[in-house]
Amino acid sequence: MVFDADIAIIMAGGKGKRFGSSFKPFIEICGKPMIFNIIDKTKKLFKFNIIAISENVENFLYILKNKYKDLLLIYTTGIDYSIDLKIVLDMIKKRPIIVFPSDIPFIKENTIEEIILLSRGMNEDLITILNKQGEPVGISIIKGNDLNRWTNLKLNEDLININTKDDLNNAKVICND
């Protein structure tokens, strides 16, 4: 499927404060690091896959580099998600861009395709994706530069974002880990 967006950004440089560890993207769920799940999907759907990292995860980069030789990395501050996202968006001028969290291990390719198709008719510069409960899941589509022009896109799906140890335990139950 050809998309208007050919750039996927995966945010993976945070401190993991709610979770208690910056190692969070590399924790195994269903037999592989969480971040591998989203990278494997985006590599099939997008021409450019960029991982936003920081010194918070530098000690774990060998895990990424051993499996993915062709990833583009952008270093950010790792201080705050919104600051880091701004750094990435200032560096990459092409739009649209789709931003993913590194901790959404169960997202399916067809869900990503659905997000893109549903967002095509939306004119706002920023589209935030919500799960069926109306909660943000960390996925955003950036179509322009005025991020004050935004809207939500609610999916009829229960996307699980791993933010806490309880989320991790629930995910491991799903995988029978």
**Strand, helix or coil for residue 97:** strand
pTM of the model: 0.91
**Strand, helix or coil for residue 72:** strand
Note the pLDDT tens digit of each residue in 71-96: 899 999 988 888 999 999 999 999 99
The superfamily (CATH) of domain 7-175 is Spore Coat Polysaccharide Biosynthesis Protein SpsA; Chain A (3.90.550.10)
Percent of the chain, pLDDT > 90?
Answer: 56
pLDDT band for position 25 (cuts 50, 70, 90): confident
Domain boundaries, the chain: 7-175
Name, in order, each residue with C-beta under 8 angstroms of 80's C-beta and a sequence gap of 6 or more: none
Note the pLDDT tens digit of each residue in 119-149: 998 999 999 999 999 999 999 999 999 999 9
Say how far apart CA 69 and CA 100 lie, in whole Å. Answer: 20
Angle at 110 between CA 107 and CA 111, to 5 degrees: 50
